[in-house]
Structures are given as structure tokens and as C-alpha cells.
Chain A
């Protein structure tokens, strides 16, 4: 079984300040972890993914996340928030059961964190 907990349902930051969106996961197998962003009326966009390579993962738009197995965490960070970053962010886990290609595995989504960026 796998699960994801996003610790904050809502985060508000000022433009130009750092962003931290927290995520903890649980997985019976070696997990793959993802962060997706959902803008209103747009499809989910992949920000970054961890699939057992480097533990510090760099994604698009200046986001990065660090996989910490000992803490079962995969927090998303960005040094400086931009107004366009305001959106809903989902932490997602899939497990490596059966050695299936990552793209074919079922994904389990966290409850989401709404990021608000103040001018």
C-alpha cells in the first residue's frame, strides 16, 4: 500500500520569498515520487520526479525537491516565488512493485497544497 500526506492545505508567501511545500510518503516498495502543478482550467503538469537516481531532483521553473528516505519526505522548494507560481500542487507516489515501467504504474495523489503568492 502507498500513501501521501501533504502537510499544508494552503501556503501563502510573498513574491520573491522562498517556497516550501511539505510532503511525506508511505510505500511498501521502492517509491517513485512526483510533484505536479495544476493551474485553473489547465491540465496537470509535471514539475519533477524522483525515480531512485539522485536524491536532489531539479525540476522546471526553478523548483527542486529532495528525497529523504530516513524521513520519508519529499518536500518541494523554490528559492524565490513568482506570481505565476500560484496554483495547486500535488505530491504523488507510485511504487516499484513488479518492476513495471513508471509510466504504467498507478499513481496515488496527496490532498494538494494551494500556493498563494502575494505581491
Chain B
């Protein structure tokens, strides 16, 4: 089975801290994604990457950056955490374009910024 692993299940950080959320997949997938999920707003795409060192902005990239130095790892960075970034963060991966909608998700990281 494909496994997408997020480094933390729950995280509490202070306002202004730099926060790293890590995601690792073990199926050699080209595409990796970061979403956030908030009540009433559904899943919103923050960034995605279709290859090592490649990244593309999603719908809500402000306040975030990403890093993909290796194919299996995709990191989401909150440069200076703010309370409005309190959310559930979900990482996903998928094959290249032919299977791009068959995505596998991690278990999520619930981040609280205080």
C-alpha cells in the first residue's frame, strides 16, 4: 500500500515561530501536494510539486513556502506562524499526469498557533 506519512499528528506553535511540516511518501510518486482544511471551507490547495525542486502555487500560498529536495519528501514552511494558520494540514501524493487524480493522503497535522 502507498504510504504518505506526515511528521506530526498534533502541533502547537507560538505566533511568529517558523514552522516546518514534513511529508514523506514511499511510492515514488511525482506529484505531491499540501492542503489545509477548515470547517465550512473544505480542502484548499496551498502548494504542489510535480518534480524535485519544482513547485507551483495553489489557491492560498500566502504565508507559506515549500521545499522538495528529494522526490519522496515535501516540506511545508510557515515563515512566521500566525493564528489564522491554525488548521488541519494534509499532504498528498499521486502519480504523474495519467494518474493525477488518484491521490493518497497522509493522516493530517492539526496545527494550533497560539
Asked if A and B are interacting partners, one says no
Give A residues with C-beta under 8 Å from B. none
